[in-house]
Amino acid sequence: MNPRPPQPTKKRPPSISPTPKKGGNVVYLKRGDTVHKVDAQKQRFALSAPMVFTIILIFIGALSSAVASAYIADMRREVTLARHARDTQLDANRTLASQMPQPFTLDEIEAIALERLGMARPDPSQIIYIHVPPVSHVVFNPYAYILPPSTTFWEEMGAFLRGIIDSVFGG
């Protein structure tokens, strides 16, 4: 009979002690079956690249939000000042309009010129008359038909097309 080979003994992980060992800075952390010895005094906070990127993005977002808020506050201030200036001008205009007399007629203007200003009526030889022909505000367009103002869109389109057809075919 063969003797049995010696069985390896399992090492037991050290138990996690609630009280710190000597020095007071050593902590044992258990993850799964392994126990890690961590020196709390030498442990530093490690930043990972995604964490740094996230912090930078949050900083940029907060900074842009602050800049936008300042810009909006400045615009609101300018709008308030412009409204105040407009309201002040409107009040001044209303005051002047209430103080303004009714419009003068030609007879009143003639009376003021003769009485207050000491003017005299001109002799007929001093008057120069200019004859101006009546002005038409319609621009000549050979393709357009003159339509009444109450014309619908389709009537205008029909008149436009008739004008083009007449000019092409000599109608």
CA atoms within 13 A on the CB side of 18: 0
Residue 135 lies in a domain: no
In DSSP terms, 37 is beta-bridged to 28
pTM of the model: 0.34
Element (H, E) at 159: helix 153-169
148 band by pLDDT with thresholds 50, 70 and 90: low
Element (H, E) at 78: helix 49-99
Residue 104 lies in a domain: yes
Determine the length of the chain: 171
Residue 160 lies in a domain: no
What is the average pLDDT across 16-29? 59
- The answer, yes or no, to whether residue 9 has pLDDT greater than 90, is no
Q: Which of 1-5, 13-17, 78-82, 100-104 has the highest mean pLDDT?
A: 78-82
- pLDDT at 59 (0 to 100): 94
What is the average pLDDT across 93-121? 86
* Closest to 21 measured CA to CA, from 39, 35, 8: 39
Residue 29 lies in a domain: no
Over residues 87-104, the pLDDT tens digits come to: 999 999 888 888 877 777
- The answer, yes or no, to whether residue 130 has pLDDT greater than 90, is no
Tokens 């007629």: give the residue.
Answer: 105
Query: How many domains are contained in the chain?
Result: 1
- pLDDT at 16 (0 to 100): 56
Over residues 64-89, the pLDDT tens digits come to: 999 998 989 888 999 999 999 999 99
- pLDDT at 103 (0 to 100): 76
Q: Give the C-alpha separation, 149 to 129, whole Å.
A: 36
Q: Give the C-alpha separation, 28 to 19, whole Å.
A: 10
Over residues 36-53, the pLDDT tens digits come to: 776 666 555 566 788 889
Q: Show the domain range for 93.
A: 47-121
Residue 108 lies in a domain: yes
Residue 68 lies in a domain: yes
- pLDDT at 85 (0 to 100): 92
